Amino acid sequence: MAARFFGRHEHSLDVKGRIILPARYRGHFDTLAYLSQHQEGCLALWTPEEFEKQLADMQQTQDRGSAERNMVRIWSAGLTEVELDRQGRVAIPTYLRSYAELDSAVLIVGALNRIEIWSPSLWEARVRPAEAMFITPDTVASGEVE
């Protein structure tokens, strides 16, 4: 069965630019994973199986036109193979930390077929506003939302 990731975990980068994956996510990886730039400024961590699906999608996408080829070029240039060590740590290369604006605090978020790695400030700016979709008049009236 395909890996499914969900939940949100607050972690931090160590001095070597590594994060520790939550234990609940580690079982979906042997020692190999793929780390890429992703939408809205986060990073995506892919299992080998999901990465193969992404590669197939990207190969089809690049045949659609010039803009799509450039998107695939950017995606593949910002992609790296990473290893998980025995403690479940993943080293994030400097250029990817820079892209995602990762400093010390990091959010590790399950995003169904991948793990997303976010700067908390980017998460607040780009994702938090979307939570308004989940607030209905009923939740406000019931006192669930302040």
Pick the CATH number of 8-48+79-141 from 3.40.50.720, 3.40.1550.20, 1.10.4160.10, 3.30.70.3270: 3.40.1550.20
Rounded Cα distance, 114 and 35, in Å: 10
Query: Would you state the pLDDT for residue 131?
Result: 81
Say which residue the tokens 């994973």 belong to: 33
CA–CA distance from 144 to each of 8, 76, 81, 130, 138 (Å)? 20, 43, 43, 17, 9
Under the banding of pLDDT at 50, 70 and 90, the label for residue 134 is: confident
In the chain, the percentage of residues whose pLDDT exceeds 90 is 84
Residue ranges covered by each domain of the chain? 8-48+79-141
What are the φ/ψ torsions at residue 62 (nearest 5 degrees)?
-65, -15
Q: Across all residues in the chain, what is the average pLDDT?
A: 91
Model confidence, pTM: 0.87
The pLDDT tens digits of the residues spanning 51-107 come to 999 999 999 999 999 999 999 999 999 999 999 999 999 999 999 999 999 999 999
Under the banding of pLDDT at 50, 70 and 90, the label for residue 21 is: very high
